[in-house]
A and B are shown apart, each in its own frame.
Chain A
């Protein structure tokens, strides 16, 4: 996750560096500055939408202070101010400042550039507090979130679909004038300050935990069953529990949903003529059928940290515990594999490679992931969300990703280079199948390995 964020920022930064070239290509007829001014409001609209979904409310941090003799105003100020600490607030700067430095400074002078940056910051602060305000409101009334989302989508649609008005023109209207009259930069600053004050007032009048909390009104939680798992006995029960873990908790659920997005990988890889090679397909197929193994498996058994003691003293044989992991990975990967089968449209070879990589994933990658799970001592608190959650991340994940990503190419790569790619594919499939049929052996090995590490794992999981 940490590296992912860094990677995202790097991407944004590079995007920012080449923003002028991109804009020149997309809007070839317009002056560069005009198109730049045009996209800023658009950016902030999307930014607001993303914030509504992803930004976390800074709430529980004040809990310990509420009953202490600290002035309400100080607590509220603290709470409002810490709302600023969000990665979202860095994005516009990373994205736009390179352009401003490259183009605006030379084109319109330093004062205009400064005015640009100041107004960007003003709008960022405004968006930040506006999103937080809406989120706080929607904690009390879920409809507010829905209405806000719909309004944002409607604004987007009325520009791009219905052409009622143009966001880009509005944006240019403001930023175009900032260039000539830098004083206008004070407008977004004032807007930001007003939003801050609105949040401040709201929090001051609602400083009760139940109203601040990010917990939504409780729905009736019903019990679920997976009847098809019953035939597997207690292993099936363990799988059922883990599937519930995935679907009832934010962070594991988003790792599953992310897997669904990875299904689009095929569209990118298979339609791109430059990537129309078997090597690229091996890569794409491995991710599409195995994304859940990688994404969810890398944090095993941390997901179960909060009740690991209970598992250890229950009448569960660890070998059954491992069998359940294998079964779950097989089922979920099979599900993702089925979703990728329509890519047969791009040729039978495509499907064949997907089958091979599916076998490889449930044969080899599952075992690798479980091997590293025995070396993972970090607790994960399931109640926390997924966005920018660094919990449970250690060097383990980076080391784990190496064999996962490299192994198939160690087997396949040399043969493909020697123009025996098909033999390479066959070899991948054979290794996958052999590993599937030798699972009892691997389970024994993993069990033995676990018994030497279980105290360390359990103790790590107890450390909050």
Chain B
């Protein structure tokens, strides 16, 4: 048993495996995420990113292995819920509430008064860009991008120590993407929040995250600290099929003489 006073790992994954219909969709023998790290998760569709997230949040049962949050098993425990905020998809939102009602509800779960929630909402008015509050709409009537804003904002409202977002950049407009990036950076650098974000946008992810995990068919095949060459490295990985076929067309020796 590790000493409670010296917990440095936010998330520890050991021998985690998930199988659907005989296909292994996640297989992570070992992964440690230390407190205060900012992790970017990249990989093509079906690489197992969301499934990994879901297992970290105890939403699906792994075939083997376990996830520890602050050295406590996630499955069957509730303690991690007090410091973990996550938004994976619209299924996390109570969609027949107005955004205000939803924020008050989430705030209430964390013993925050309405005034406190109002203060918080004023603080991120920029991020909402006037499209969320006092619009007289239920969350289900908002566009996907605006629903994403509600989800992200409700995460921030919880003052989490661990923030998990699944493809937050996918549906939001460019201005919001930039605002979200600076919010996440600020949380990580200045408030010490551990962030775990997946994205298909390599520019954004290398900009925001200090450490990139690259998944392929359920396996983390690369675990790299972000530096100036990371983006090119990732672009090469994702563009590899295309590049070589281009190349083969261009330098076809038969056509060249």
Contacts and interface: CB of A to CB of B under 8 A. Distances in A.
Interface of A: 218-224, 234, 237, 241, 244-245, 248-249, 306-310, 312-317, 382-383, 451, 455, 458-459, 462
A415 B204 CA distance: 74
Contacts of A458: 59-60
Contact of A248 (B84, B91, B106, B138): B138
Given A241-B105, A317-B78, A309 B88 contact: yes
Contact of B59 (A244, A245, A249, A312): A312
Contact of A382 (B58, B59, B92, B96): B96
Contacts of B28: none
Given A223-B101, A237-B109, A455-B60, A310 B91 contact: yes
B82 interface: yes
Contacts of B96: 244-245, 248-249, 382
A241 B97 contact: yes
Interface in B68-119: 76, 78, 81-82, 84, 86, 88-89, 91-98, 100-101, 105-106, 108-110
B137 interface: yes
Nearest to B136: A220
The 9 closest A-B pairs by CB, nearest first: A220-B136, A310-B92, A455-B61, A315-B81, A309-B91, A248-B96, A315-B109, A223-B98, A307-B94
B81 A314 contact: yes
A405 to B, nearest CB: 31
B234 interface: no
B100 A223 contact: yes
B57 interface: yes
Nearest to A237: B108
Contacts of B141: 218, 221
Contacts, number: 79
A462 B78 contact: no
Contacts of A234: 108-109
A241 B94 contact: yes
A244 B101 contact: yes
Given A221-B138, A307-B94, 6 more contacts: A307-B95, A310-B91, A313-B84, A315-B158, A316-B109, A458-B59
Contacts of B82: 315
Contacts of B108: 234, 237
A281 B61 CA distance: 48
B109 A221 contact: no
Contacts of B86: 313
Nearest to B111: A234
A346 B106 CA distance: 48
A306 B105 contact: no
B94 A313 contact: no
A224 to B, nearest CB: 8
A244 B98 CA distance: 10
A219 B141 CA distance: 11
Contacts of A219: 136
